[in-house]
Amino acid sequence: MKKPLIVANWKRYIEKKETAVSAAKAIARGAANVPAEFVVCPSHAHLDAVGKALSGKGVALGAQALSFKEGPMQTGEVSAAMLADLRVKYVIVGHSERRAMGEDSEAVRAQVREALAARLSPILCIGEASRDAGGEHYDALTSQLRGSLGTLSPADQKRLVIAYEPVWAIGKRAGDALDAAALEETVLYIRKVLAETMGRTAALSTPILYGGSVEEENAEALMRSGVAGFLVGHASVDPKSLIAIAKAAHGTSKR
Ligand code: PGA
C-alpha cells in the first residue's frame, strides 16, 4: 500500500512569513509520525523561508503557480527555473481560482511543459463548475485534461499528478464536498481519459488527488474512492487539521 499524498494549498490565507514558517515547522513535526507524503505550497513570497524550515524534514516544497510564457519581459512573474532554484519539487497548475483569473487551457498546457522542463512535478487541477444528472460535467473534465496535457515523455508522465477539484465544492465545509460514490466514479472516468491520452500503464500509475472541502471528518470516506491523496485548502492552514486529515487518509489508501 502506497502512502497517501497530502498537498497543502495555502493560497493567500497566510500573510506573514513568521506564521508560514511556524505552520511549516508544525507540519514537519506532525508528519514525522504519519505514514503519508506531504507537500506544502506557500505563497511565492514565503517559498524561500518555508523551504529552509522544511529542509531535511521529509516534507516537500511546492508552489502555487508559475509563469507560462518564455522570456524575461514578464513583470511580476515567477519561472519554473526560479522555483527549482528554491528547491521547489511540485507546482500547482490550472487551479480553478487561476483559471478564473484568465488562464486558459493553452496557458495551463504551457505551465505543465515549463514545470516538467525544470524537473518539477506539476499538480494539474481539473474540475467542473457544476454537476447535472445528464453527466455533462464529464465533458468539462475531458476537455480540460486533453487541453492541458500535450505529448509527455515517459519520464514526464511519471512526474505528473492530477488533482480533481470540483469547483462548486471548493472552500466550503466537509458536508459540501463531493460524496465518495460520485468521487469513485469520477476517478475511474479520469483514468479512462488519461489512458486514451498517454496509455494504460502510465494512466494507472498517475496519482489522482481529490480537492474541495476536505476536512478531518470526510477524509477517510473520500480516500476509499481510489484517490491517491488530497489537495487541501482551508483545512491545511491549521497544521493539526492537516495532520488529522493525513491520519484519516492513511489506512484507507489504495494508491
Ligand atoms: P478547500 O480548497 O480545501 O478550501 O476547498 C481546495 C483547493 O482549492 O485546492
pLDDT confidence of residue 255? 45
- In the reported structure, the alpha carbon of residue 127 is separated from the centroid of ligand 1 by a whole-number distance in angstroms of 12
pLDDT confidence of residue 150? 84
Contact yes or no for 83/42 (Cβ under 8 A): no
pLDDT confidence of residue 211? 98
Mean pLDDT, the chain cut into blocks of 10 residues (255 residues total): 93 98 98 96 98 98 95 95 98 97 95 97 97 89 94 95 97 94 96 95 96 97 96 98 96 54
* 165 classed as catalytic: yes
Residue 9, ligand 1, Cβ within 6 A: yes
- In the reported structure, the alpha carbon of residue 97 is separated from the centroid of ligand 1 by a whole-number distance in angstroms of 10
pLDDT confidence of residue 201? 95
CA pair distance 180, 202, nearest whole angstrom: 24
CA pair distance 143, 103, nearest whole angstrom: 15
Report the nearest atom of ligand 1 relative to the CA of 177.
Answer: 5
pLDDT confidence of residue 254? 46
pLDDT confidence of residue 116? 97
Residue 94, ligand 1, Cβ within 6 A: no
pLDDT confidence of residue 2? 85
User: Ligand 1 pocket check: which of 232, 236, 238 to mutate, most ligand atoms within 8 Å of Cβ?
Assistant: 232
Long-range contacts of 195-203 (CB under 8 A, 24+ apart): 197/145, 197/146, 197/149, 198/149, 198/152, 198/157, 202/152, 202/154, 202/157, 202/158
Residue 215, ligand 1, Cβ within 6 A: no
The protein residue whose alpha carbon is closest to atom 7 in ligand 1 is: 233
Extract the C-alpha cell encoding 188. Answer: 475511474
pTM score, whole prediction? 0.97
Residue 213, ligand 1, Cβ within 6 A: yes
